[in-house]
Chains A and B, each alone.
Chain A
């Protein structure tokens, strides 16, 4: 069993460092639309493991700025891509973690974000119009980080989230859509930022979230689905925000995440035996931080960024993670 497994920090650091050097052309161009997010995931994971300097700061800032879409006033995922809310939030998060927010035209980016809100209160991801509570969270998170929440129509935003609440206490991507742990995270975190957790049926939702743990310790995103490391963060973050972390078996979950590590090349996969990627590496490490895994830096589950950075901006909410264990 995985009882004696450890988090392979040096291996994961070099795994993330090597990502940008990948010569695997097919995988690389197929993920270009996630490049900005991937850098945010990699940097956050490094930060939580205490190695935030492992990637070159100047190069990273230059890359972020090269993705600025001058016409739209937001960031694309890649230098030639149109601005999108997902990459715009990632860019802002990276600039804040690198203490380089002075490079940003805050007024223009705020205008871009606000322009994406729909009459129903939800946000679209770009001018193409696809809507999703994920995009709503990105907007709320970004505006909060930039200190510009006062410009948001909070009532309209909250009312859309309320409409997405389902009979099991969870939230979906749009009104009428099935509850899904990732959508639960974005809705609960957005409500936390807006100080509107009263919208959550906490008893039912936390029960549903604790139901996500399977006998092997892993968490799934919906009933009767397979476990996946990324739900360690989606489920745990919501439980942490609602102060119910103790409702799940943390030791079993820690073992499950650790068993999904690639002990040869580094990185964490969705489940043991699968191929590692930066997305699951970040959310595995983030989950471990919330679970009090020894030696890790505290992660803020609301913003999914290092807790000290959020505290320094005066944005910390009332979440609780498990106490940090000693080495």
Chain B
């Protein structure tokens, strides 16, 4: 963008802007409280209002709006007018996207940066390079809500087989960095269960088995991870699989010092029921809760076991959520009577 280097020069002093009449704020309105802008911001926004009044959409508007956005990335009118100008000029949008590469990382938490990008990519219809760009942004902030939503939108909107191809590897990489990243777990569910069935994934029971194995392995390494337990519950609910089928996997996580199976000293990992890692902090509250749900679902005498488990959560393992566990006990008892 031609004049960005001259940012220090006021628009009021630039000959090429002579023809624009700046429009100051509050022509006729008494503000609730006086506002003390920086001279640079006041100058740029005065000229912006002047441009908008004239309805001008020219290359210099791109310079002006970029200047304002750099001073205040949340100025949504500047973003909006910038987009209209880009469309009116019909300029190639690649240059704009490169500028956005820089601004997105700078203003990661600004809504407008992401929305503008969405509009641009809908025009260029070239989503492929975006995946690497998003991955880069997530290196900066691995749980950024806008960034993840943008990725989900991109995949679903273009819904191109090639775009989806490496998504599971991508999630895997994110979880390798931080296995507690709930955004990554959510994305995994989105990719596997919420976005239609892609080639190679037609056998849903095989997919379910793969996902169960995956989440069980992650839990075995770090058991106290709500995101993984939520994912496990999510896929069981989604596939209507009874929780009781997981009882043998969950059992050792409910004990402070589970007895290791004979072969666990060898380097053999049981993929169906991976044992808690050596340094796991046990018992795991989420496992006890899961086991209580198993017993509750079986009913009959098992309700007594469920109640004991909830009581142990209320008194010891998850005491600050005591009220919730007491509620579960009351509910179960009222149903039993």
A interface residues, Cβ below 8 angstroms from B: 20-23, 25-26, 28-30, 32-34, 39, 59-60, 62-63, 66, 76, 79-82, 84, 126-130, 166-168, 172-180, 204, 207-208, 210-211, 213, 215, 217, 222-225, 246-249, 252
Contact = CB atoms under 8 A, between A and B. Distances in A.
A222 B320 contact: no
Nearest to B49: A80
A173 B149 contact: yes
Contact of A28 (B35, B182, B235, B238): B35
16 contacts: A25-B36, A33-B74, A34-B74, A59-B32, A81-B77, A167-B189, A168-B230, A174-B149, A175-B156, A178-B148, A178-B187, A213-B320, A224-B226, A248-B321, A249-B320, A249-B322
Contacts of A76: 77
Given A30-B74, A80-B45, A130-B115, A176 B153 contact: yes
Interface size class of B (residues with CB under 8 A): 35 or more
Contacts, number: 152
A222 B37 contact: no
B153 A224 contact: no
Given A28-B36, A80-B25, A246 B181 contact: no
Contacts of B233: 167-168
B179 to A, nearest CB: 9
Contact of B76 (A33, A168, A173, A217): A33
B72 interface: yes
B189 A63 contact: no
The main secondary structure of chain B at its interface with chain A is helix
Interface in B217-250: 225-227, 230-231, 233-235, 237-238
B323 A166 contact: no
A178 B145 contact: yes
B316 interface: no
B321 A21 contact: no
Nearest to A179: B186
B324 A126 contact: no
A167 B75 CA distance: 35
Interface of B: 25-26, 29-33, 35-38, 41, 45, 49, 71-72, 74-77, 79-80, 83, 111-112, 115, 118-119, 143, 145, 148-149, 152-153, 156, 180-183, 186-187, 189-190, 193-195, 225-227, 230-231, 233-235, 237-238, 320-324, 327
Given A80-B45, A176-B153, A211-B226, A29 B145 contact: no
Contacts of A129: 115, 119
A40 B225 CA distance: 38
B149 A172 contact: yes
B226 A62 contact: no
Contacts of B119: 129
A175 B194 CA distance: 10
